[in-house]
Amino acid sequence: MANELIINVRPHETRVALIENGLVAELHIDRKTSHGLIGNIYRGRVVRVLPGMQAAFVDIGEERTAFLYVSDIYRDHPDPGRAIYIGNGEYDDNGKGKPENGVFAGEDESLNIENILHEGQGIVAQVSKDPIGTKGARLTSYISLPGRHLVLLPYVNHIGISRRIKDKEERERLKGIIEEIRPEKTGFIIRTASEGVEKEKIKSEMDFMLKLWANILAKMNESTSPGLLYLDLSVSLKAVRDLFTREVDRLIIDSSDEYKRIIEFIDHFAPALKYSVELYNGEEPIFDVYGIEIEISRLLDNKVWLKSGGYIVIELTEALTSIDVNTGSYVGKRNLDETILNTNLEAVKEIAYQLRLRNIGGLIVIDFIDMESLEDRHKVFSALMEALSRDKARTYVLRMSELGLIEMTRQRAKENLYRQMTEKCNYCEGRGATKSKKTICYEIFRDLERERLLVPKADENIYVHVNPEIANVIKEEEQQSIIELERGLGRRIVILSQKDYHIEQYEISS
């Protein structure tokens, strides 16, 4: 089946869906009220240095201060071999990326942040991770400017090649071109889209990126206060730059204005793709036509069913994401071991798919169904590694434990889609549950017993204001408890329903 990029543009929101083999593989949402900052470059001012955290808070002119770890600070080492940058989405000469974003190979751990930064200092920094939850944006001073074919690393004397370019001769050809035309001590990463591209096209893009970097530095020198120096591309142009590869057959967009911008961008960087871009003019919403809207609604479900009848449960917490695998209604055909293995193998593909689709990052713990056979555990682990190999985000996976648990991390640069599309429940306040009606009733009864100590000789009625549902339980199921309390208190208890009360809210008055 065809692979397609579907882009839905509205004044308030832009959504990009990458469809692979008929399934939504990636979904990117950018809203005007919560615009992503990744890739933006700022003039920052250090407002606080925290030696105990080896980090600094930096004012970048946004609503919240950003933070910068010591490992993300560029340092010009005398030994050039120690200044090789492995950054977000880039690779070293062996084609392998580092698990952490923005780290110099051979970094000197003896350097302390208080010896590098001080309050009031001005710096050039780039956002490497969007604000997530209560945390501000994460910064790096290892600047990288991605283009269609290259990534410019202005501070680093290094040439890297995408590990997705497999042909050895092509790798050597591209590396030779960059060695020949790059400025001295300037680094570049050769992206996958460079494969088969002629020297002149690469040179043209390199000149454009070097000019862009010169303009950024000029702005830095001219400005005196924190603020934006470079705004990264819109989400639709990022999709063209990063996702519109040879593996994608066509791009379809429903905005004529954004269609024109994309054509201009492609004319400059990849004119051969021009004829694969289509403007959608249908009356039915584009995401409805391609069945994407239904998939988006399913992203909010924590239970995902497997074709066999099994299912996985995805739970997001503050510290990690847990994924539980269950057989559900699947009973298998031969024996229990085979049923469990087949369910786990089917779950592996769905888990890899959901991690990428929902953009789940950070620490992830997968609880597979227990398998006694070591060979079966190895099969499941190997299948997971194979499924994750198609994910562009970097992952690090530990071997399966005897309890059937796999611990892994996945690169997290921005908020996952679930948190981006939802907010904390104002009723349960994010707990995911409320106290049971019985629990609330018995809390009220204990407070009524305390009334005896507070007002021992009073003879007025006691009024209890509660949610209507609690009032019904007290009157219908706990009437005897109220009678006994009235006898003990020597006072009449009046239950009053309050429609505007939260189910856990109540008030006792005389």
DSSP 259-276: HHHHHHHHHHH-GGGGGG
Q: At a CB cut-off of 8 Å and minimum separation 6, what does 102 contact?
A: 71, 72, 85, 87, 88, 128, 140, 142
Residue 49's pLDDT is 93
Place of tokens 């997705």: 164
Please check the confidence at residue 208 and state whether its pLDDT lies above 50.
yes
Q: Other CB atoms closer than 10 Å to residue 271's CB: what's the count?
A: 11
Half-sphere exposure of 385 (CA within 13 A, CB side): 11
Residue 172's pLDDT is 92
Residue 303's pLDDT is 92
- State the Cα–Cα distance between residues 405 and 29, nearest whole angstrom: 32
Residue 325: name the closest of 345, 307, 353, 299 by CA.
345
Among 110-114, 252-256, 398-402, 450-454, the range scoring the smallest mean pLDDT is 450-454
Contact 230, 163 (CB under 8 A): no
The model's pLDDT over 347-392, given as tens digits with 9 standing for 90+, comes to 999 999 999 999 999 999 999 999 888 899 999 999 999 999 888 8
| Better-predicted residue by pLDDT, 104 or 487 | 487
Strand 277-279 with 250-253, pairing? parallel
The percent of residues above 90 in pLDDT, for the chain, comes to: 50
- Return the CATH fold of 4-33+239-294: Nucleotidyltransferase; domain 5 (3.30.420)
Contact 503, 434 (CB under 8 A): yes
Q: What is the dihedral of CA 259, 263, 265, 268, to 10 degrees?
A: -170
The model's pLDDT over 110-155, given as tens digits with 9 standing for 90+, comes to 578 888 888 999 889 999 988 877 788 999 988 999 998 999 999 8
pLDDT (mean) for 468-473:
94
Please check the confidence at residue 407 and state whether its pLDDT lies above 90.
yes
The model's pLDDT over 314-329, given as tens digits with 9 standing for 90+, comes to 998 888 999 999 988 7
Which of the four pLDDT bands, split at 50, 70 and 90, describes residue 84? very low
Residue 420's pLDDT is 84
Average pLDDT, the chain: 85
Contact 136, 64 (CB under 8 A): yes
The model's pLDDT over 229-243, given as tens digits with 9 standing for 90+, comes to 999 888 999 899 888
Measured between alpha carbons, how far is residue 393 from residues 189, 274, 412, 437, 504 in Å?
17, 28, 8, 45, 43
Amino acid in the structure at residue 387: A
> Superfamily for 41-231?
Nucleic acid-binding proteins (2.40.50.140)
Q: Which CATH number fits domain 437-509: 3.90.226.10, 3.10.20.70, 3.30.565.10, 3.40.1260.20?
A: 3.40.1260.20
**Cα–Cα–Cα angle for 154, 156, 157, nearest 5°?**
115
Residue 8's pLDDT is 95
Residue 285's pLDDT is 93
Please check the confidence at residue 6 and state whether its pLDDT lies above 50.
yes
Residue 455's pLDDT is 67
Amino acid in the structure at residue 236: S
The model's pLDDT over 50-72, given as tens digits with 9 standing for 90+, comes to 998 899 999 999 888 999 998 88
Q: At a CB cut-off of 8 Å and minimum separation 6, what does 166 contact?
A: none
Residue 101's pLDDT is 37
Residue 97's pLDDT is 40
| Better-predicted residue by pLDDT, 268 or 14 | 14
pLDDT (mean) for 487-491:
86
Please check the confidence at residue 254 and state whether its pLDDT lies above 90.
yes
Place of tokens 């995401």: 287
Which of the four pLDDT bands, split at 50, 70 and 90, describes residue 21? confident
Contact 323, 329 (CB under 8 A): no
| Residue 42 backbone phi and psi in degrees, to 5 | -125, 155
Measured between alpha carbons, how far is residue 280 from residues 9, 251, 253, 284, 287 in Å?
11, 10, 6, 10, 11
- State the Cα–Cα distance between residues 193 and 151, nearest whole angstrom: 11
pLDDT (mean) for 64-81:
69
pLDDT (mean) for 456-471:
86
Residue 500's pLDDT is 92
- State the Cα–Cα distance between residues 44 and 27, nearest whole angstrom: 31
pLDDT (mean) for 35-40:
86
pLDDT (mean) for 407-412:
91
- State the Cα–Cα distance between residues 168 and 189, nearest whole angstrom: 16
pLDDT (mean) for 14-43:
88
pLDDT (mean) for 274-293:
92
pTM given for the model: 0.77
Which of the four pLDDT bands, split at 50, 70 and 90, describes residue 31? confident
SS3 assignment, position 388: helix
Cα dihedral 392, 398, 401, 403 sign:
negative
Which of the four pLDDT bands, split at 50, 70 and 90, describes residue 35? confident
